[in-house]
Amino acid sequence: MRTPQELRTTDDRGTVVTEYEYDDGSLVAVDFGADRGDLAVDVLDDTAIVVASDEQFEFELPDEATEVAANNGVLTITE
C-alpha cells in the first residue's frame, strides 16, 4: 500500500512517514510529532480527515485500507 500523496507532502514540519510491508498486509505510519498535539481522524466514505493542531489534511484512502487510527501523534493506515 502506498502512502497517499497528501500525507507525503506534510514532511515540511518534521513529519516522518514510514511504509511497512508484511506477508499478510501492509501498514503506513505517519508520525506528526509531539509539537502538533493530539490527532483526530474521521473517515467519511473513502475520505479520511485528519486534524493535527491547527492543520487539517484530507485524503482519499487507498483501496487496500481496512483501518485508520490515530494514537499519540501517529496516524496509521492498515491493510
Answer whether 34's CB lies under 8 Å from 15's CB. no
Give how far Cα 50 sits from Cα of 21, 22, 24, 25, 55, Å: 23, 25, 26, 23, 8
pLDDT at 61: 92
Domains of the chain in sequence order: 5-78 (2.60.40)
pLDDT at 11: 54
Verdict on whether the full-model pTM lies above 0.85: no
d(CA 5, CA 42): 18
SS3 call for 53: coil
Q: Regarding predicted confidence, which is higher, 64 or 38?
A: 64
Answer whether 39's CB lies under 8 Å from 57's CB. no
For 1-52, write each residue's pLDDT tens digit: 777 777 766 555 677 888 999 999 999 998 887 777 788 999 999 999 999 8
